[in-house]
Amino acid sequence: MLAYIIRRVAQSILVLLVVGLVAFSMFRFVGDPIDNMLGQERTQADIDRLRIELGLDQPFVVQYYKFLSTAVQGNFGVSYRQGRPVSTIIAERAPATLELAAVSGILALTIGIGLGVFTAIRRDGWASNIIMSVSLIGVSLPTFLIGILLIYLFSVELDMLPSFGRGEVVDLGWWTTGFLTESGLKALILPSITLGLYQMTLIMRLVRSEMLEVLRQDYIRFARARGLKERAVNFRHALKNTMVPVITVTGLQLGAIIAFAIITETVFQWPGVGLLFINAIQFVDIPVMAAYLMLISVMFVGINLIVDLLYFWVDPRLRADRAGGH
Amino acid sequence: MSEPVLSVRDLVVEIPTRTGVLKPVDRVSYDITEGEILGVVGESGAGKSMTGNAVIGLLDRPARISGGEILLKGRRIDNLNRDQMRRIRGKEIGMVFQDPLTSLNPLLRIGDQLTETMLAHLDISADEARDRSIAALDEVGIPAAASRIDSYPHEFSGGMRQRVVIALALCAEPALVIADEPTTALDVSVQAQIIALLKRLCRDRGTAVMLVTHDMGVIAEAADRVAVMYAGRLAELGAVREVVQRPRHPYTEGLMGSTPLASRGQRRLRQIPGSMPRLGKLPAGCAFHPRCPKAQEACRVDPGPDLSADQGRAACWFPVEQVEVAE
């Protein structure tokens, strides 16, 4: 087991290095940061000086190496635009994104699994059919459109919820939270629904189809033949077997929630790292872009690792294979 | 004779389809008494499993019981509601399925599956259920039951898993066990062990058994009486010795002629021409008449005399004449 974790971590590091390399090879196509950094009154000498100062005259592999060698020491460089350390900027912005992603993820998981199980058990009921039809909206409408529709309905027409921002936040020193104020909580509602809706419907449809498959299995029939209560058959026997494939997709989707927060944060002007990234692209703020991409990769790779370990926890057959095979 | 444990009276199962109503089980009647093993034999699609599923109340929709009665120890059970029927399943009627590899939940320890079944039906504590589970595993011949109880199903072989399945079916001491092809998925060498185990356990407890199989060898080995099914109807019902050695229904005769039995010595096996008709295309009259060597005009019109539980052995107008021997 430990050997397996170590091997997976080693693989993960390799993945991260490749992601970084690809990212750096593409930054040159985004634009030239020098244009934005120097004003109208620039001379060619200024441009050349700044280019050398920032190391932008060197090939991207060398730039990448420099980024890595300082990044492993916890130093992600200084933002071209704000002139402040990138780690400080991200630390300021991260709580907003993480709180939004956590609320969306919990919404997507609980409602997704709950409705999935419900529509599987009441397969032919009218409520299931309505839920399934409505869920098509969730999987087919793009996130930004849902966000704009929600803003139009709840902010413009009904004037119930704020259309942008985080509301009032409480500063805990190392973390700013919107959970403790009424305006903060209100501000969370629309963005978290927007962000989580796609994942919620995806998880729901997946749970439903997996559960229907499991309910056809012999051991479910046998559980019924043993006179177990319907609740025990559905939740103890069926749901647990449903979870194995669901965990994979769900894990990746939770990573996607953080990554795709970019769109939701843009629509709602949510002051998180996604919005920071969009602004960084407009300014070609390479240190911020690089740090953000690495952060997202670490998160994806970490979630993948956790998903793989969850399999062992859920499915005893894998535990036995590992013990025998490694 | 005491009251039968299971009494099926004119049972009809229907499946409504777009093109008409199918009757996979049509006016079937039989009794099983305490400690008796009734073999139910027939080809695939003859309605044997469907009959078993109807008795335990596990028909898959849209199949439903549309006629007849099922009595368990004199109490009618075919009209019970879902919760009442659930209380009977496992407690009064146990069931053993065909494939032990898929009958056990792969994610739950076998001990948990045993105790949950006992706790669902018996008024005992969790500790007591665990002790009884170990005893139940011991009884079905799982070696070192006390240490194996916390194993997962994949840690057992196929034959061992079927033993666990039998322990599960019997753990609440039901009066009737429906064994649906319990040996079909097993190695031949294991088959005999499983049949012997089922036979011993049921004889010791006086449990009635409905043994559904297409294997005449298993029937001859295990059953006391046998019911032969063809296209949803009971073709013949009688003591195993009688039916095997002196079949009355032409179908049974054909079935026996096509079965290799060691007791009969080597000779060429006979075939029944044609194959069993699909349910949607049953011929009028006796369903067997197009294949029957003895069919006459009456067979094309009338489906043949009904078999009731105590009179008549074969549902045939012109049963095979056998030299009568005193039973």
CATH code of the domain in which B232 resides: 3.40.50.300
Confidence tier at A2 by pLDDT (50, 70, 90): confident
Nearest to B212 by CA among B38, B90, B27, B70: B38
Could you tell me what percent of chain B has a pLDDT over 90? 28
Strand partners, B211: B39, B179
CA atoms within 13 A on the CB side of A249: 20
Is residue B175 in some structural domain? Answer: yes
In terms of phi and psi (left: phi > 0; alpha: psi -120 to 50; beta: otherwise), the region of B45 is: left
The burial class, CB within 10 Å (0-12 / 13-18 / 19+), for A213 is: middle
**What's the pLDDT score for residue A321?**
52
**Cβ distance of B89 and A227 shorter than 8 Å:** yes
**Is A113 in contact with A157 (CB distance < 8 Å)?**
no
Answer yes or no: is pLDDT of B134 > 90: yes
In a 10 Å sphere around its CB, with 0-12 CB exposed, 13-18 middle and 19+ buried, how is residue B131 labelled? Answer: middle
Range of the domain at B230: 6-301
For A46-103, the pLDDT digits (tens) are 888 888 888 888 888 888 888 888 888 878 888 888 888 888 888 888 888 888 988 9
> What average pLDDT does range B90-95 have in this prediction?
91
Mean pLDDT of chain A: 85
Q: Radius of gyration over alpha carbons of chain B, in Å?
A: 20
Which of these CATH numbers, 1.10.10.1110, 3.40.120.10, 2.40.110.10, 1.10.3720.10, describes A91-283+296-325? 1.10.3720.10
Q: Are B52 and B38 in contact (CB under 8 A)?
A: no
Nearest CB neighbour to B86, from listed A221, A222, A227: A227
Domain ranges of chain A: 91-283+296-325
Asked if residue B313 belongs to a domain, the reply is no
Q: Which of B105, B109, B150 is the best residue to mutate to test the A interface, defined by the most A CB atoms within 10 Å of its own CB?
A: B105
- On whether the CB atoms of residues A271 and A166 are closer than 8 A, the answer is yes
Tokens (6 digits) for B214: 């297409």
Percent of chain B with pLDDT over 70: 93
Task: Place A209 in a pLDDT band, splitting at 50, 70 and 90.
Answer: very high
Can you give the pLDDT at residue A323?
A: 45
Q: What is the mean pLDDT of chain B?
A: 85
CB spacing of A317 vs B154 below 8 angstroms: yes
Give the closest-approach CA distance of A307 to chain B in angstroms. 17
User: Is the pLDDT confidence value at B309 over 60?
Assistant: no
Instruction: Judge whether B104 is closer than 8 Å to chain A, CB to CB.
Output: yes
State whether residue B298 sits within 8 Å of chain A by CB.
no
* Interface predicted TM-score of the whole assembly (ipTM), two decimals: 0.86
In the 8-state DSSP scheme, what is residue B33?
-
Tally the domains of chain B: 1
Cβ(A257)–Cβ(A199) below 8 Å:
yes
Is residue B310 in a domain?
A: no
Confidence of residue B308 (pLDDT cuts 50, 70, 90): low
Domain membership flag for residue B65: yes
Q: Residue B55 — very low, low, confident or very high, per pLDDT cuts 50/70/90?
A: very high
In a domain, residue B106? The reply is: yes
Where does the pLDDT of residue B267 fall: very low under 50, low under 70, confident under 90, or very high at 90 and above? low
Measured CA to CA in angstroms, residue A88 lies from A74, A79, A261 at distances of 11, 10, 20
List the 36-65 stretch of B: residues with Cβ below 8 A of A. Answer: 56, 58
What is B56-84 written as a DSSP string?
HT-PPTT-EEEEEEEEETTEE-TT--HHH
Amino acid identity of B219?
A: I
Q: Which chain A residue has its CA at the smallest distance from B120's CA?
A: A228
Starting at the edge strand found earlier in the chain, the sheet holding B75-76 runs B20-32, B6-17, B64-72, B75-76
**A123 CB near a chain B CB, below 8 Å?**
no
Q: Is A108:A264 a contact under the CB 8 Å cutoff? A: no
Which residues 197-236 on chain A approach chain B with CB closer than 8 angstroms? 217-219, 221-230, 232, 236
Q: What is the pLDDT of residue B211?
A: 93
